[in-house]
Homo-oligomer: A and B are copies of this chain.
Amino acid sequence: MKSDLDRLMQENDLAALLVTGAGQHNPAMYYLTGGAPLTHADLIKPRGAAPVLFHGTMERDEAAKSGLTLKNLSDYNYKNLLQKANGDRILASALRYQQMLADHDITSGRVALYGKTELNDAFAIFTRLQKIAPDLEIIGEAPGNSLLLQAMATKDETEIERIRKMGKITTEVVGLTAEFLSSHPAKNGKLTKADGNPLTIGDVKRQINFWLAERGAEAPEGFIFAQGRDAGVPHSQGNPDEALETGKTIIFDIFPCEAGGGYYYDFTRTWSLGYAPDGVESLYDDVRSTYDTIMGELKLNAPGAQYQEKVCDMFEALGHKTIRGDLTLQEGYIHSLGHGLGLHVHEAPSFRNKEYASDKDVLFPGAVITVEPGLYYPSKGMGVRLEDTVWVRPDGVMEILAEYPLDLVIPVRG
């Protein structure tokens, strides 16, 4: 939680956090400002002091919505800085950051960089800042394991309510999608529109984006609606031109967020239209039994790796290959069991196999995690995944934040 930041900074010997980039679609900045729609801003959080938000003159109203202490970037006279830097824009920007930090008493110690931003100029500016300010130590952190991600990984009640609301929107849209599919009769095994043309994945996706927009949500990373062979490739988003057919697996994995890059939800169902052929049903049953077992065994403070190993055990016992034996595997169980989510669709903790897991990958209180076992056989034209988002409540209860039936078959006429 945000209230952990000073403690974490103390433990990690950090003098300040320096966050840069836009106010939205930028999890670090969103987290600390509340998602103000700023095109560019900087934020300095000194250890033991409140954050300061640096903004452009034209964005003073939007910056004020953050409720933070503000500082206008134009107070740092860029013309003078550029003269001092002999026209070198990288140096001028580095000098400005040096001054911004010094104005908040940060002239030595470790400063960690954050923000989803253009690496090109950021790398130039911050390596230059390191050169001109040798008493500072400008740092990044290991992938997926930064101090800020650690704070973000435990959600407070307000964050849980926002994720829960996104869950409600997500499952509403999933329900509308199921009804929409059922409302199209099958002719010769293909769902058919009123004009006689087949209903395509592209048609369904357009509807879904529309329903999300109507509810104040968006899918900035797209979503997966993949059929048959494509359902056998976990991140295939599906072929928009393809007609929807009966008796094929459809993986519908949708991970929308609040408009502007706010909190996410993550949810997957596997559907088969009209009926499920034997091979599909048995693959579904294998995934479903794993899903049920894991959901029943999740325990507060248990290491995530234990569940990933358990899923591998179960799938291997059923005759499936798993990623545990071969990182390059393309058929069987080929990914991790789940991940944290919040302002990122993927964040800490992770359910990785034990040799890659961090000791921080545990089901700590306040975590929000996905549980998503799946089996993939592109060569057989099928894949199955089931996913729900779970709140690891401080009282130890594992709560699915938006319930939705797990049924495989979507009824269709014809």
Contact = CB atoms under 8 A, between A and B. Distances in A.
Interface string A39-83: 100000000000000001111111000000000101101110010
Contacts of A316: none
Given A37-B237, A58-B235, A62-B236, A141 B121 contact: yes
Assembly stoichiometry (copies): 2
Please tell me the size bucket of the interface on A: 35 or more
Contacts of A216: 206
Nearest to A233: B61
Nearest to A138: B123
Nearest to A55: B235
Interface string A350-386: 0000011000000000000000000000000000000
Nearest to A126: B123
Interface in A65-124: 72, 74-75, 77-79, 82, 88-90, 93, 112-124
A125 B119 CA distance: 12
A216 to B, nearest CB: 7
A121 B93 contact: no
Given A25-B25, A143-B93, A120 B112 contact: yes
A139 B126 CA distance: 11
A22 interface: yes
A134 interface: no
A210 B209 contact: no
B141 A74 contact: no
Contacts of A37: 221-222, 237
A210 B217 CA distance: 11
Contacts of A139: 123-124
Interface stretch (A144-152, A168-176, A278-286, A406-414): A144-152
Contacts of A328: 57, 72, 74-75
A387 interface: no
Contact of A123 (B24, B59, B140): B140
A221 B22 contact: yes
A258 interface: no
A323 to B, nearest CB: 9
A214 interface: yes
A230 interface: yes
Nearest to A218: B218
A327 B121 contact: no
A327 B78 contact: yes
Contact of A210 (B125, B140, B210): B210
B89 A145 contact: yes
A212 interface: yes
A330 interface: yes
Interface of A: 20-22, 24-25, 28, 37-39, 56-62, 72, 74-75, 77-79, 82, 88-90, 93, 112-127, 138-146, 148, 206, 209-210, 212-214, 216, 218, 220-222, 230, 233-237, 259-261, 327-330, 334-335, 346, 355-356
10 contacts: A25-B221, A38-B235, A60-B330, A61-B236, A62-B235, A90-B142, A113-B123, A120-B146, A121-B141, A121-B146
